[in-house]
Structure 1
């Protein structure tokens, strides 16, 4: 909700507000951004730990400063590599960009193109809370007519060094002539009167899903637009962007992650076009069999090396030095003057009529992002220049195996191996509830030692063979009760439970383990340094059977969700800074309080997953039902499957992976649409999805660890079978290693080569591998 003058509520916003009044806890604020409203720096956008964003518009900049000094000193958050202070909240977009390390991370390929574009949009003032400043993404493909799409062919990609209005030579000449022949003394010359990101363009992309359907109808006086102007076909829309002087739109982020926007699932009557075609679902290119496949291919195109190596030139046009001034003129990239920051002083406007006209112009025809750079943006390093051996085949799958003195099965593994963590650790929990903190060496790489190693004796520390994983010294040779107490999760679990990976989660820094299954109906947070229970949390009427947490970064808040034999699911808030499950007001010392209690199941909960990023809680139970709730406790979808829902996991692209009866793998969209399914050869004991969401890793009772593509669901590779069941799996943050917890009480580490299975590099890798190896010739 946006407020003006402290009293007058911006009336148009009220149509889309669920409630007029709301409250938010100040301690849950994680980032504060200075925002523009009607081109004036009079707004603030607050980002909460629950991934909620609220935007407020005030009367003037002084009020904004006063409000900031009453808010917590969180700056714009560690996510952007900036200090936590009120000063950073009031930095200009250019200062925020300059002081952030995100550009360097992108150059070094530590973050994806999608994440970097979202960062640029956020810093430059683009926000989902204002349609006139909606995030903007580039058109990247040109081939929407062929039956197939090869992402290794440059001709299929747009020239990102040119603005969308100047891709066609005819349109470029038209706009250049408009600029050079402009003769109005009051209005500066421009190439484009309509911005590449306007409310009308944005709503036209999203009109098939709410609340954008309602917004679109209200924009057109209570009805849908003429059918010939409604988005009907990706191919037609792209062609119109090459010839129509009024259509210079770029894309929106949803084009890379939201397949639901292409379906007319609400069955709106959108009319018929002049050629007789009924407007319904968006017509996709022939190379996309479904919206999900279009999104997959579109995202892979965005992350391709061909786009990566020229994306900096598009950034120069949208956020950089070619956005305004002489460089913009040379690049045919000048927009109507009222779209630019600082172009008008609303306080100097003399009459209400003039004020209303200017405001309407700004809101209807878009706003240019804040300029972040005044010089050329540095290019991204090529994959081949950074890692020239990336396509080299790994000679050995096995990296190492580590065996403990105890033979208790390793039922849970967490590879907390991010480079930002001072002490990267692999946490292991055995069936006897003894846990281990095993040191991980991020500097280790395949080929550093002459051979792979089988380390059956964890006490071997003479350094003769370099290994990535070092056994917890507390457990290597110890057998005293005092030391074991520091590595034990306390009371035994309820006898009705079979201890599995779904009973545990850890924090990213490995300081705390969350464990469930205790007979007193609690779940507990255990300090891994002392082995003491930090919190025992009660919220169920029977034994807690499974637990999960949402995605998180170091010391950040997250959601924790628990399921029970009482058929309920409870959502909790974890305060990452203080290290406790929060109460109602998120104050230290409070009794833990549920954020939501989710109902609807009629059998014991058997599996869970939660995403703060998407605001979803997904729960499965023993009768095969899967429920999808929002974190605000609204039930969205109900999926009826067959068999016990053994495990659930969801990718960042909202592809839900469900395992039934430890045998049948099924993938669904976030709207519960069945995407694919497969019957596994062996009984699957555990699974996890990689951080990029593209692959799944499973471990079976027959000792096999397999790699699967999540969409379309396909088994890609299986490591050599072990002589013992795999009870847990995890993937190192670098994606270079896969770890398995074995029934024999050992941890196995495999070398992983996901590039071998990645779509873009698949053909190149195969060609590289098929080339004959030439023997070295002595000189």
Structure 2
């Protein structure tokens, strides 16, 4: 239990605590037996006396209720200040958390100071009393001046440092933020440690320390619509695992952030949103964890009630005896905001909206604001509600009493559109926010029933069971199928602008980031009005996505997995053989049974037998480089050449079966479709052609099935089946990817992905492709939303790409490095120095579990793949 009952939550939100004095308090002008020993807290808007004995309540004297403050000097009372008030409040009597008791009567309080000078204290009190007579903006300005004056006099105490040899790099006036509380103080940064020294002695420790090498994540935060916040997460096991700071200016915040990020002692865990999105889409990050991550990324923090994390209503049935998550009727429509779920109410709101002048808004209240958050959490954090509502709880009938009533209200009330908070889905806390843990007397409702615990739906046996079932609903197939639509509304492209209007998702303009720049508002009254509105009304999260969010891949969410389940999905590579057959760079290689077939820049084709470990075929097909090769039959290999020809070579009999002019410029890439017996070729003439009579002597040209024109040279080709339809995918030298419908011969989509030539494309799943570029970028594109969901620079250049058909990807780097990636966990698993020069070709042979690589260094290597267990 804390040694002191006083906390900043006993003050008004934003009120500043300066210092305290040891004294004795009495209501008579003498220190008699009724005098109470304790400490007097000097704050910006009030005086708070904290008795030493817990039987007595704390006394709060608001300066604006004071009629006189002066010193008293008599024989009975020396070094004394008398405070006359016309009303005061009593708090925490017998240390019981309850609404404050307000006494509306004239009263004199005498404070007999033990050590401090009453004259000096009086000067400060009278100054603050004068400030209390001013309007809020002028009052805030005066308090800020007093605070700055104290800051300028404050010297950081080096005795508090861990090492006396440490040198301070920079110092700033900051605030340490916790819900409804701002601790003012000084931040000092050294090469090894971040220190925060509060102005007052309210903190349990005189100084707050966080080691730089324990910092794991740093987020720039928007605090009260200003870019001045910085949230730092440390190692969970460290004594100080979290810190939220607010700076005087954005420049101060950015300076500290830059120093920390550049410090050699800071080793941050960098998780990019694209990486997390892919992991969520793959089903290894839960819906709950993904929503927590998006909230964090969009400036939502549990330390800031104006920007508390937002979670959706998911279940729409709070009256049934049982609940079936296999039924869509059990769920809320996630494609609509709460205000649009009831068509009758929406119609009335739209009528009002159309009659409004600009800037229009559809909803007069927000889905997340401090009052709404505490409406849900008042039983868990009653002290926050008392702080926010000046020592009072809500009227018992307006409190969070029943899940059924709250959901009904959110559907029908013309001013209630709130969403939920993470606690509804946090199984670790077991639904403790639904229970009156502290036995607080919240009062009685109109029917005489006392407000105790939240009434749960019939299908919930207990608060713990209720939260477990809500979490089960959040992770259900239905929610996983449609959660991206809710993300679009809250964090995505439907959050603002024309799309928000279409989606009936328009709130008051003050709620949106960038709508108001408080630093540019110089009128104190206007600025204060906006700050109050921000505090009370709520803020729209920072927009994270400007295009439709990707869907989750439903078939793979039968069980909630974690990244650890996938950590071992990796291959160990052992080099079985290094083959030196060619005199120049090897452009393409493939394996068919025990034979390795390769084509070279010098126009030669070679066949190597892996059992005999020797070359068995060698033929010069032409005088120009050969670019590519694929098997188009049991023994026939098709070879693309820079002389515009495609050659068909019989490996078994060692002869050229046929050659035909396939393009008007070099043939650059080939792909064989065994199911349809189709050969796809791509040329530098910007054309992709599909051939159907390949292997039938003299019939190839007559078998031209399709022809697709592009703007740039064709650098790579692939295909996919979608709803039993065949689509041809082509990457170009312009960095674009084209998708063609083979049946209709129509262009389905053209996507600009890279700024340099696309050197490889692989189909991850039906709706996602991985591409690599000449600039060394790896990119994952979701074809349902035509949007890149992940991009990363992996090498100086990437010249080849290959997939094992499941999750593992291999990329050929520019310096001969072979990169292995797991595209489920979206992580690079390994990097091998495979060759001495560019890796031009990678071929995966599932039958032999080998990987074949070919390089500009003239060598071919055979790698045995062993899955790491």
TM-score (norm 1): 0.46
Higher relative contact order (CA 8 A, sep 6+): 1
**CA radius of gyration, larger in:** 2
Q: Between Structure 1 and Structure 2, which shows a larger proportion of strand residues? A: 2
